[in-house]
């Protein structure tokens, strides 16, 4: 092969490989190394390396070398004072020293390469306005460079410049992307950290109001997500409407109770967001309903409507807009509000759960109290029943036989009077015993629909003679009232008790006003029977005791009358109210619910000590 | 007054027997006394008793058991439960006695009931 022919082949070979290298790899260092290796091999030199000129222009760094020992050195600096190279670069021309044996400058290269090069070739690598560095070829023997070789090296230099340029372009575009990403990230990080802070706060509160206020602040506050306005509506499942609760502008929250949006087609986009459970971005102009929720009426800005959900149930809707700066609502905005809405939903659900637990707990405590009372009564009943049998039998004998003795005692030696006292006292004991048993025993309830006025009339009739003898005037004021479900016997017992107390409070006579009326309330209404006397009232100091069992002011009273009455009325789901005017009189009002569903339940049922048996 | 009607009193208390016997005999009834259920059934078998006054709590056979057996023998004879317990009064229907009277030192209520049953 002729030298010309071989040079041509070599050129072709080098060029095709240079193109391949430039196309194949994107890693700059990889490319440079492949290029310097190619050159060192093609031109048969002992060293080929690329030195990059540092930005400050005072030093070179060896970026790639054909010699493996140099590749490992991360940075190999070449003092910029290396005149040859500087000159070549400055002048953007090749520097060729064919025989360098007597030049002291080559000592620089000895430091780098480990030997004294005899031949030097430097190719500046530059673009029109950027100087990247230089490609340096060294040979340990003097070497001449053919014109074709120099031309080929020039092309190789351009290939290196091309690689550097494309890498540079890539680098800068990468930087741009990273910068953009970093910028976007900063926004996202800020939003995420806001969300994080909010969710932390939301999860620690169980007050619905505080949750709402926090969210409003988070959406519209300076430190928050930066929207201009927000409204939070919550679902009213019973009425099937969205009710506005909180409204916010620039972190200031206010009430939005004036907003009520029906959940049908009249509810517009808000109702749609609830039904579809997805966020909606819409211009307020195109939905007349949206205009209602802001202060300023109809607006022409974009709104985002984001449903608040928890456990796949819609609990409400967050509405945001940018009414002041008219910024568009982006997809990212909606995403962030959705995340916030999720947290809000969870927090609201938490709060609801807490309220539920709190109420249940209170009910439990109440029920436990009732149970304790029931147990106490049961124990009392047990004891009273046992005592009753033990006491009643001897009482029957004592009293009964004393009555007989009265009949057979002759003469007036005082014995008859003693026996009469015994009979009276036994009678009193028996009465107390009966009342005690009445109190501790759950009476069999038998509810019928009854006009309370009839019961009142029956009681008054029963006591007519008693009232007449005591000079007591009865003033009746009975309204026509509908019949209610009640235990006739028990209610009669109650009214009788109160009438008897009134009678006893007026030993010198007086007046009893008996009235009945109907009152409406949410639970279906009450029938009220009021018994008012002129007996001077109850001293304030003992007023709170009057319903306590065994509390009495009457000589010979058992103290159970009002206690039993109170329990009877409670069982009917009603209440007894006392209006006391010390010095004048007292009015007892028995209020019984018209709706039988409010009837109370049985607290206590004594155990039957005798087995029930059917008689065939 | 009692037209010689025969009344069986079943009670485990001596003093109750003393009282009831005197009061009822005074009203002209013929009174049989039984201190327990077994004696009561025996007397009931061998005498044409017109009415029974029956205590509930007694040692041995209790009043309910006695009531069941009395009614099984002669259902037409009225039985008045007379007891110191008031709380069983409401179960009267299922026990199928003719009346339920809580014992009292005054025998008025009991006597009214007897009179009503024997009319």
Q: DSSP of chain B, one letter per residue?
A: --TT-EEEEE-S-HHHHHHHHHHHHHTT-EEEEESSHHHHHHHHHHS--SEEEE-S--SSS-HHHHHHHHHHH-TTS-EEEEES--TTGGGHHHHT-SEEEE--S--HHHHHHHHHHH-
From chain B, the residues in CB contact with A434 under 8 A are: 86, 102
Is A395 in Cβ contact with B23 (below 8 Å)? Answer: no
> Quick one: pLDDT at residue A611?
34
CB-nearest to A610 from B22, B68, B88 is B88
Q: What is the pLDDT of residue A474?
A: 93
Are the C-beta atoms of residues A559 and A550 closer than 8 Å to each other?
yes
B110 touches chain A (CB under 8 A): no
Nearest CA in chain A to B56: A610
Q: Which chain B residue has the Cα nearest residue A398?
A: B105
SS3 A311: coil
Is there a contact between A400 and B94 if contact means CB atoms under 8 Å apart?
Answer: no
pLDDT, position B119: 82
Partners of A395 on chain B (C-beta within 8 Å) are 105
Nearest Cβ partner for A437 among B71, B86, B104: B86
Interface check for B1 against chain A (CB to CB < 8 A): the answer is no
Band (A72; pLDDT cuts 50, 70, 90): very low
Which residue in B has a C-alpha nearest to residue A390's C-alpha?
Answer: B84
Instruction: Find, in chain A, the residue whose alpha carbon is nearest to that of B57.
Output: A610
**Per-residue model confidence (pLDDT) at position A24:** 66
Q: Residues A607-615: what's their mean pLDDT?
A: 34
Distance from CA of A391 to the nearest CA of B (A): 9
Question: Quick one: pLDDT at residue A359?
Answer: 84
What is the pLDDT, as a whole number, of residue B18? 92
Q: Do A612 and B23 touch (CB under 8 A)?
A: no
Please state which of the ranges A145-149, A221-225, A440-444 shows the lowest mean pLDDT: A440-444
- Given an 8 Å threshold on Cβ–Cβ distance, is A444 in contact with B90? yes
Q: Does A404 touch chain B (CB under 8 A)?
A: yes
CB A64 within 8 A of CB A50: yes
Interface test with B, best of A397, A398, A429 (most B CBs within 10 A): A397
> At which residue do the structure tokens 């430039």 appear?
A22
Structure confidence at residue A608 (pLDDT): 35
Compute the distance between CA of residue A141 and CA of residue A146 in angstroms, rounded to an integer.
Answer: 16
Give the pLDDT confidence score for residue A596 in this predicted structure: 62
Q: What percent of chain B has pLDDT over 90?
A: 45
Least trusted range by pLDDT, from A105-114, A122-131, A452-461: A105-114
Residue written as token pair 């340990």: A140
Arithmetic mean of pLDDT, A3-21 = 70
Identify the closest residue of chain A to B70 by CA–CA distance. Answer: A615
Query: Which chain A residues are Cβ-neighbours of B95 within 8 angstroms?
Result: 612-613, 615
pTM of the model: 0.38
For B16, which of A388, A397, A614 is closest by C-beta distance? A397
Confidence class of residue A449 from pLDDT cuts 50, 70 and 90? confident
Query: Bridge-partner residues for A11, per DSSP?
Result: none
pLDDT of residue B3: 67
Contacts of A396 in chain B (CB under 8 A): 16, 19, 84, 103-105
Return the residue of A nearest to B84 by Cα: A389
- Contact of B108 with chain A, judged by CB distance below 8 Å, is answered with no
Instruction: Point out the residues of chain B with pLDDT beneath 50.
Output: 92-94
Instruction: Give contacts of B91 with chain A, Cβ < 8 Å.
Output: 608, 612
CB contact under 8 A, A394 and B104: no
- The alpha-carbon gap from B19 to the nearest alpha carbon of chain A, in Å, equals 6
- Cβ-contact B76, B70 below 8 angstroms: no
**Residue A179's pLDDT is what?**
65
Q: Which residue has the higher pLDDT, A566 or A99?
A: A566
- Mean pLDDT, range A508-535, rounded to an integer: 90
Residue in A closest to B65 by C-alpha: A613
d(CA A124, CA A327): 53
Arithmetic mean of pLDDT over chain A: 78
CB-CB under 8 Å, B103 with A393: yes
Handedness of CA A336, A337, A341, A347 (dihedral sign): positive
Nearest to B19 among A400, A434, A616 (CB): A400
- Residue A378 CA to residue A605 CA, distance in Å, equals 7
Does any CB of chain A come closer than 8 Å to the CB of residue B67? yes
Q: Is residue A545 classed as helix, strand or coil in its secondary structure? A: coil
Distance from CA of A558 to the nearest CA of B (A): 18
CA distance A281 to A286: 11
Residue of B nearest to A428 (CA): B105
Q: How many CB atoms lie within 10 A of CB B31?
A: 19
- pLDDT of A304 > 80? The answer is yes
Q: How far is CA A472 from CA A505, A531, B82, in A?
A: 11, 13, 39
* pLDDT score at A612: 33
Contact list in B for residue A397 (CB cut-off 8 A) is 13, 15-16, 18-19, 105
Q: Name the more confident of A475 and A550.
A: A475
Say what the pLDDT of residue A598 is: 45
CA distance A615 to A609: 18
pLDDT for the residue A183: 67
Helix A147-203 to helix A28-42 angle, to the nearest 10 degrees? 160
What's the pLDDT at B93? Answer: 41
Answer for the pair A551, A539: CB distance below 8 angstroms, yes or no: no
Mean pLDDT of A536-560: 75
Q: How high is the pLDDT of residue A528?
A: 94
**Which of A395, A606, A614 is closest, CB to CB, to B87?**
A606
A242-273 burial: b if 16+ Cβ within 10 Å, else e: bbbbbbbbeeebeebeebebebeeebbbbbbb
Q: Given this model, what pLDDT does residue B29 score?
A: 94
Q: Which residue has the higher pLDDT, A317 or A195?
A: A317
Helix (H) or strand (E) holding A512: strand A510-519
| Position with higher pLDDT, A616 vs A351 | A351
Cα–Cα distance measured from residue A158 to residue A440, given in angstroms and rounded to the nearest whole number: 113
- The pLDDT of residue A510: 93
Instruction: Give residue-wise pLDDT tens across range A45-71.
Output: 888 888 877 766 667 777 788 876 654
Nearest residue of A to residue B73, measured between CA atoms: A616
**Average pLDDT of A239-257?**
83
Mutating which of B59, B66, B87 best tests the A interface, going by the most A Cβ atoms within 10 A? Answer: B87
Are B104 and A385 in contact (CB < 8 Å)?
Answer: no
pLDDT of residue A605: 35
Give tens-digit pLDDT for A483-510: 888 888 888 888 988 998 898 899 999 9
Q: How is residue A214 written in tokens?
A: 């926090």
**pLDDT at site A170:** 60
Residues from chain B that touch A400, judged by Cβ atoms under 8 A, are 19, 23, 105-107
Q: Which of residues 351-370 of A touch B (CB under 8 A)?
A: none
**Average pLDDT for A178-192:** 67
Dist. CA A574–CA A568, nearest whole Å: 9
B25 CB near a chain A CB, below 8 Å?
no
Asked whether the beta carbons of residue B106 and residue A427 sit closer than 8 angstroms, the reply is yes
Q: What is the mean pLDDT of residues A243-269?
A: 83
pLDDT band at A125 (very low <50, low <70, confident <90, very high): confident
Instruction: Give the confidence band of A7 by pLDDT, cuts at 50, 70, 90.
Output: low
């Amino acid at each position: 092969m002729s030298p010309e022919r071989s040079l041509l082949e070599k050129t072709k070979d080098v060029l095709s490989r240079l193109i391949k290298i430039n196309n194949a790899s994107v890693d700059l260092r990889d490319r440079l190394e492949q290029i310097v290796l190619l050159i060192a091999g093609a031109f048969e030199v002992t060293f080929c390396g690329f030195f990059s000129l540092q930005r400050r222009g005072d030093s070179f760094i060896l970026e790639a070398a054909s010699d493996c020992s140099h590749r490992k050195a991360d940075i190999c600096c070449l003092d910029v004072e290396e005149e040859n190279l500087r000159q070549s670069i400055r002048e953007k021309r090749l520097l060729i020293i064919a025989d360098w044996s007597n030049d002291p400058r080559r000592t620089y290269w000895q430091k780098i390469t480990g030997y004294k090069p005899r031949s030097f070739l430097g190719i500046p690598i530059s673009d029109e306005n950027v100087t990247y560095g230089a490609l340096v070829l060294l040979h340990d023997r003097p070497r001449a460079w053919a014109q074709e070789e120099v031309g080929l090296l020039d092309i190789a230099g351009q290939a290196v410049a091309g690689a550097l340029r494309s890498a540079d372009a890539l680098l800068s575009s990468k930087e741009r992307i990273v910068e953009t990403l970093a910028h976007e990230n900063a926004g996202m990080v800020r939003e995420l950290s806001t969300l994080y802070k909010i969710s932390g706060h939301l999860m620690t509160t169980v007050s619905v109001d505080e949750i709402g206020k926090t969210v409003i602040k988070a959406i519209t506050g300076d430190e928050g997500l930066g929207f201009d306005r927000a409204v939070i509506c919550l679902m009213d499942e019973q009425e099937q409407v969205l009710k506005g609760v909180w409204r916010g502008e620039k972190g200031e929250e206010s009430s939005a109770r004036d907003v009520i949006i029906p959940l049908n087609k009249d509810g517009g986009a808000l109702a749609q967001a609830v039904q579809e459970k997805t966020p909606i971005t819409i211009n307020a102009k195109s939905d007349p309903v949206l205009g209602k929720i802001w202060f300023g009426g109809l607006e022409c800005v974009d709104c985002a409507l984001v449903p608040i959900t928890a456990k796949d149930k819609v609990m409400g809707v967050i509405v945001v807009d940018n009414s002041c700066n008219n910024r568009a609502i982006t997809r990212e905005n909606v995403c962030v509000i959705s995340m916030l809405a999720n947290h809000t939903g969870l927090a609201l659900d938490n709060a609801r759960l807490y309220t539920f637990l709190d109420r249940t707990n209170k009910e439990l405590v109440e029920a436990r109290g009732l149970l304790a009372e029931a147990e106490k009564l049961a124990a009392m009943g047990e004891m009273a029943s046992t005592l009753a049998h033990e006491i009643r039998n001897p009482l029957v004998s004592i009293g009964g036989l004393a009555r007989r003795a009265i009949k057979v005692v002759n003469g007036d030696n005082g014995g008859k009077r003693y026996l009469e006292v015994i009979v009276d006292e036994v009678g009193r004991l028996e009465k107390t015993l009966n009342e005690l048993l009445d109190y501790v025993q759950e009476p069999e309830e038998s509810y019928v629909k009854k006009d309370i006025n009839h019961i009142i009339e029956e009681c008054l009739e029963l006591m007519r003679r008693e009232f007449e003898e005591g000079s007591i005037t009865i003033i009746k004021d009975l309204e026509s009232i509908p019949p209610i479900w009640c235990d006739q016997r028990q209610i009669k017992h109650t009214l009788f008790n109160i009438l008897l107390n009134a009678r006893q409070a007026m030993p010198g006579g007086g007046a009893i006003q008996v009235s009945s009326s109907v009152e409406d309330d949410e639970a279906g209404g009450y029938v009220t029977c009021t018994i008012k006397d002129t007996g001077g009232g109850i001293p304030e100091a003992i007023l709170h005791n009057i319903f306590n069992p065994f509390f009495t002011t009457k000589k010979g009273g058992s103290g159970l009358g009002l206690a039993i009455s109170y329990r009877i009325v409670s069982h009917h789901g009603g209440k007894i109210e006392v209006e006391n005017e010390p010095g004048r009189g007292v009015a007892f009002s028995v209020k019984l619910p018209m709706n039988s569903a409010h009837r109370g339940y049985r607290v206590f049922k004594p155990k039957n000590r005798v087995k029930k048996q059917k008689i065939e | 007054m009692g037209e010689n009607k025969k009344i069986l009193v079943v009670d485990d208390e001596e003093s109750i027997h003393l009282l009831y016997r005197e009061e009822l005999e005074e009203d002209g009834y013929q009174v049989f006394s039984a201190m327990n259920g077994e004696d009561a059934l025996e007397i009931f078998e061998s005498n044409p008793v017109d009415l029974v006054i029956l205590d509930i709590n007694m040692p041995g056979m209790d009043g309910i058991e006695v009531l069941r057996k009395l009614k099984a023998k002669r259902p037409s004879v009225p039985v008045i439960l007379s007891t110191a317990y008031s709380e069983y009064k409401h179960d009267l229907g299922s026990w199928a006695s003719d009346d339920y009277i809580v014992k009292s030192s005054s025998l008025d209520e009991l006597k009214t009931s007897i009179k009503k049953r024997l009319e």
